[in-house]
A and B are shown apart, each in its own frame.
Chain A
Amino acid sequence: DSGVTQTPKHLITATGQRVTLRCSPRSGDLSVYWYQQSLDQGLQFLIHYYNGEERAKGNILERFSAQQFPDLHSELNLSSLELGDSALYFCASSVGGDTQYFGPGTRLTVL
C-alpha cells in the first residue's frame, strides 16, 4: 500500500459525459501528479500540482482539467468523453521532486 488513495476504482460511462476522479496523497506530501495509461500511448504525464498551484503540464487535453484543494487532495475532471479516453488514470504524490508514490488507479471505460 503506497498510502495514495484514488476513487473510484472503476468507472463506466457513455460518450459525451463528464466524470471526476479523486486522489488523496500520502500524509505530508505536497505534490500530486496525474498520469494516463492507455494501450496505444503507454504511461503519460498529464499534470502536476504543488501545494495547490499548477507546476507542470503534459499533453493534457483541453477537455480535461484538474485542481488541488487546500487539504491537498486533487480532482481530475474529464468532460465530453470520447471512446479514446478509456484508460487507467493514476495519481502519484511526493514530498518534493523525489520519489513518486502511485495510487491504485481508476479504470475508466467509455462506451
Chain B
Amino acid sequence: GIQVEQSPPDLILQEGANSTLRCNFSDSVNNLQWFHQNPWGQLINLFYIPSGTKQNGRLSATTVATERYSLLYISSSQTTDSGVYFCAVDPNTDKLIFGTGTRLQVFP
C-alpha cells in the first residue's frame, strides 16, 4: 500500500520562528489533507490540498503531486501552534492514510 512519511518527527521552536514540515507519499493521490492535533486530542482541518498552493493566515501549504510531496509552512509561530501535525492522503481508495506526524513544541 501507499507509504506516507513525514519529517521532521520532532520540532522545537521559539515563538516567532518559521518552520517547514514535509510529507512524502509513494503513489498518486486524489486527496491530501493537513491536520493539527492539539494537546486535547482534537484533529483540526488545516488544508485540503491535493495539488497547488493555499494560504490561511500564518499557515500555507504546497503540494507538488507529480513529485509526490507536500509542504506545510508555519510562519511567526505561537505557543498555540504546539501539537502534532499530520498529513493524510487518499490514493483513490475512499479512506485517508495518515503519516506518523510531526510533533511541534513552541516555547515563549
Q: Which residues of A contact B (CB under 8 A)?
A: 2, 33, 35, 42-45, 48, 55-56, 58, 88, 90, 92, 97-102, 104-105, 107
Within B25-84, which residues are at the interface with A (CB < 8 Å)? 30-31, 33, 35, 41-45, 48
- Residues from chain B with a CB closer than 8 A to the CB of A58 are 95
Instruction: Please report B residues at the A interface, Cβ cutoff 8 Å.
Output: 30-31, 33, 35, 41-45, 48, 86, 88, 90, 93-98, 100-101
Contact (Cβ within 8 A) A98 B100 = no
Verify B98–A97 contact, CB threshold 8 A. no
Inter-chain contact A42/B31, CB cutoff 8 Å: no
**A100/B98 in contact, CB under 8 A:** no
CB pair B30 A97 closer than 8 Å: yes
A7 to chain B, nearest CB (A): 15
Q: Is the CB of A42 within 8 A of B98?
A: yes
- A45-B96, A48-B94, A56-B93 given; A104·B31 CB < 8 A: no
Provided the pairs A88-B41, A98-B31, A102-B35 are in contact, do residues A55 and B94 lie with their beta carbons within 8 angstroms?
A: yes
Bound together, the chains give a CA A102 to CA B30 distance in angstroms of: 19
Whether B48 lies near A33 (C-beta < 8 A) is no
Q: Are A105 and B41 in contact (CB under 8 A)?
A: yes
Q: What is the chain B residue whose CB lies nearest that of A101?
A: B45
Which 8 A-B residue pairings sit nearest by Cβ, starting from the closest?
A43-B98, A56-B94, A45-B95, A99-B48, A102-B43, A55-B94, A48-B94, A56-B95
CA separation between A72 and B108, bound complex, in Å? Answer: 44
Q: Which residues of A contact B41 (CB under 8 A)?
A: 88, 104-105, 107
Tell me the complex Cα distance, A4–B53, Å: 27
A48 to B96, CA, bound (A): 10
Determine whether the beta carbon of A43 is less than 8 Å from that of B30: no
**CB neighbours of B97 from chain A (8 A):** 45
